[in-house]
Structure 1
Amino acid sequence: MRFRVRRAVPEDAAAINGVARITWAETYRGIIPDEIQRAVLPLWYAEDRLARAAANPAGAFFVAESEDGRVVGFAQAGRREQAGDAELWRFYVLPEHQRKGIGRQLLKACVESLQEGGDVARLFVQVEAENQIGRRAYEALGFAYVREYEDDLMGHVSRMCEMCLHLHGRPD
């Protein structure tokens, strides 16, 4: 199946929310308790919030869609306060579409968009330390381990892993 990556638009909010719900359930099963997921998802992936983020012309927010126009993944990144640093905030692809190059294309689109706004030397991402599949995926994309730390997610303490992708020009 072919797919295309394009800039997210406000009308994608419901589809992005749907991808988030499916991927969160799959990704964080046994890592983040269900009750915490049920509390976090409506806040972080509220359709009005996603629509506002997609409407921001300066944002690096992209979706991957299948030939039939169905959103199968998304990525959002933005700059950090430190000059030359950015962070990948959201990055999910439906399980049945993983390992097909979609994540790589979403990442490339985000990096290119960030670079249009000025030089970005490092892209960071935060991933649960127990999320071995996610960590391996980021490593395959070129991210390297930086540190681990604890983070409180609505009363649930998670062990987090910060990873960094050093950018030397634009990604392949």
Structure 2
Amino acid sequence: MLRRNRSPKEELTMLLTQHEKFLDRVKRKLPKEHKKIIDDERKSLNEQITAIKENFVSNYEEKIKLFEKEKKSFEQKIKKLERTVKRHENKIKKRTLKSNYWNAKNERLELENYVLLNEIEDWKEIYIIQHEEINDQEKRIEDLELEMKNLQVNYWITSRFVN
């Protein structure tokens, strides 16, 4: 038998027909009670042969091209999804940086607020001390004015009676 380049379809049908011939030889040698098994096997084999003849893909190149096209499509989808994931990761990083920035700014403002509150408390204490000092001076002035009036009255009285 000459060998030639057969298509996969031809190769499979050739193998299955050889198997069919082999089943015929075995069936002749078996007793009658076991021939049912061979008949069932032969039915299955015939179904396989018809399936190959009817449904076999004759043009692998088209299927390969289609597969490559689908593969490229999936690769593009994967790249697109990877870009989307990268974009989302960058957004998350950006928002994290913004959050850190605002947290740091908030802490700085809280510290400034604390410093200003302390400064206000210090100014309050200074104001209270100055106000107390002013009150004390006003009291002294009042006391001095009163003493001066008393002295004037005393002077007036003494000057009236002495003269």
TM-score for both structures, normalised by structure 1: 0.22
Structure with greater Cα Rg: 2
Q: Whose helix fraction is larger, Structure 1's or Structure 2's? A: 2
Structure with the larger strand share: 1
TM-score, length-normalised on structure 2? 0.23
